[in-house]
Amino acid sequence: MEPDMLSPFEKLTDLMTNLEEFDLPAIYDILGQLCKTLRVSKGVTTFYADAEHERKGDGEPFVCYDSGEKHFLIASRRLVSPTGMIITCDVFQAEGAQPLTEPERKKVDIIQRMMLTCLNRPRQEKIIERLMYYDNDGYKNIRLFYSRIGRLLAQGGLAGWTGARIDLKHFSAVNEQAGKENGDIVLRNYGKMLEKAMGKEGIVCRLGGDNFVLLFSTEKLGAVTEILHGASVRYGEEPEQEAEISAFAGVCSFTEGDRIPNPGGVMERIIPPYQIAKRDNHPDIIFYDQSFLQEKKHAAKVQRKFNKALENENIVVYYQPKVDIQSRKIVGAEALCRWIWKGDIIPPMEFIPILERGNDICRLDFYMLDHVCKDIRRWLDEGKQPVRISVNLSRMHMSDKKLFEHIVSIIDANHVPRGLIEIELTETTTDVEFRDLKRVVGQLQEAEIATSVDDFGVGYSSLNLIKQIPWDVLKLDKSILPSDAEEERGNHMFAHVIAMAHEIGLICVAEGVETEEQLEIMRNYGCRIAQGFLFDRPMPVADFEKKLEEKQAVTVLEGLADEADHGSLFTQ
Ligand code: C2E
Ligand code: MG
Ligand code: MG
d(CA 34, CA 39): 8
Ligand minimally distant from the alpha carbon of residue 316 = 1
Phi and psi for 233 in degrees, rounded to 5? -120, 125
Distance 340 CA to ligand 1 centre (A): 16
How many Cβ atoms sit within 10 Å of the Cβ of residue 457?
Answer: 19
Does 294 fall in a domain?
A: no
* pLDDT above 70 coverage of the chain, percent: 90
34 and 176 together in one domain: no
Does 366 fall in a domain?
A: yes
84 and 24 together in one domain: yes
pLDDT at 418: 97
147 and 120 together in one domain: no
346 and 455 together in one domain: yes
326 and 467 together in one domain: yes
* 368 Cβ closer than 6 Å to some ligand 1 atom: yes
Beta bridge partners of 234: 242
pTM of this prediction exceeds 0.95: no
Q: Among 375, 511, 515, 519, say which to mutate for ligand 1: greatest number of ligand atoms within 8 Å of CB.
A: 511
d(CA 107, CA 9): 9
The parent domain of residue 152 ranges over 142-289
Distance 76 CA to ligand 3 centre (A): 80
161 and 114 together in one domain: no
- Residues 286-320 as b/e (b if ≥16 CB within 10 A, e otherwise) read bbbeeebeeeeeebeebeeebeebeeeebbebbbb
* 532 Cβ closer than 6 Å to some ligand 1 atom: yes
For residue 215, pLDDT beyond 90: yes
Q: pLDDT tens for residues 422-441? A: 999 987 666 778 889 999 99
Across residues 117-133, what is the average pLDDT? 65
Q: pLDDT tens for residues 511-556? A: 999 999 999 999 999 999 999 999 999 999 999 999 999 877 654 4
pLDDT at 429: 62
Contact (CB, 8 A) for 193 and 168: no
How many Cβ atoms sit within 10 Å of the Cβ of residue 238?
Answer: 8
Determine which residue's CA is closest to atom 5 belonging to ligand 1. Answer: 511
176 and 251 together in one domain: yes
Distance 525 CA to ligand 3 centre (A): 20
514 and 406 together in one domain: yes
- Residue, of 486 and 558, whose pLDDT is higher: 486
> Given 85, 112, 133, which residue is the final one in a domain?
133
The terminus-to-terminus CA distance of the chain in angstroms comes to 118
> Given 108, 133, 158, which residue is the final one in a domain?
133
Distance 1 CA to ligand 3 centre (A): 91
* 509 Cβ closer than 6 Å to some ligand 1 atom: no
pLDDT at 80: 84
d(CA 253, CA 214): 11
Question: DSSP string spanning 289-342?
Answer: -HHHHHHHHHHHHHHHHHHHHHHTT-EEEEEEEEEETTT--EEEEEEEEEEEET
For residue 457, pLDDT beyond 90: no
For residue 210, pLDDT beyond 90: yes
Does 561 fall in a domain?
A: no
Contact (CB, 8 A) for 428 and 460: yes
Q: pLDDT tens for residues 145-193? A: 988 898 898 888 999 999 999 999 999 999 999 999 999 999 999 999 9
Residues with CB in 5 Å of ion ligand 3 = 454-455, 511
Handedness of CA 317, 340, 475, 495 (dihedral sign): positive
Distance 392 CA to ligand 2 centre (A): 5
* 454 Cβ closer than 6 Å to some ligand 1 atom: yes
Does 364 fall in a domain?
A: yes
CA angle 292, 293, 294 (to 5 degrees): 90
Across residues 324-341, what is the average pLDDT? 96
Does 564 fall in a domain?
A: no
104 and 155 together in one domain: no
CA angle 537, 540, 544 (to 5 degrees): 75
Residues with CB in 5 Å of ion ligand 2 = 392, 424, 454
199 and 337 together in one domain: no
Q: What is the dihedral of CA 532, 534, 538, 543, to 10 degrees?
A: -140
How many Cβ atoms sit within 10 Å of the Cβ of residue 359?
Answer: 12
Does 186 fall in a domain?
A: yes
CA angle 321, 325, 331 (to 5 degrees): 40
Does 305 fall in a domain?
A: no
Q: How confident is the model at residue 321 (pLDDT cuts 50, 70, 90)?
A: very high
251 and 348 together in one domain: no
Distance 455 CA to ligand 3 centre (A): 4
Please report the atom of ligand 1 found closest to the CA of residue 347: 26
Q: How confident is the model at residue 3 (pLDDT cuts 50, 70, 90)?
A: very low
- For residue 440, the domain's CATH number is 3.20.20.450
* 347 Cβ closer than 6 Å to some ligand 1 atom: yes
Does 153 fall in a domain?
A: yes
Ligand minimally distant from the alpha carbon of residue 509 = 3
State the total domains in the chain.
3
Query: Coil, helix or strand for 427?
Result: coil
- For residue 43, the domain's CATH number is 3.30.450
d(CA 329, CA 548): 9
Q: What is the dihedral of CA 398, 400, 405, 407, to 10 degrees?
A: -50
Q: Among 279, 352, 424, 458, say which to mutate for ligand 1: greatest number of ligand atoms within 8 Å of CB.
A: 352
For residue 459, pLDDT beyond 80: no
How do beta strands 421-425 and 388-392 pair? Answer: parallel
Distance 546 CA to ligand 2 centre (A): 22
Q: pLDDT tens for residues 468-524? A: 899 999 999 998 899 998 888 788 888 888 888 888 889 999 999 999 999 999 999
- For residue 239, the domain's CATH number is 3.30.70.270
469 and 369 together in one domain: yes
Would you call 372 exposed, middle or buried from its count of C-beta atoms within 10 A (0-12, 13-18, 19+)?
buried
> Given 133, 160, 194, which residue is the final one in a domain?
133
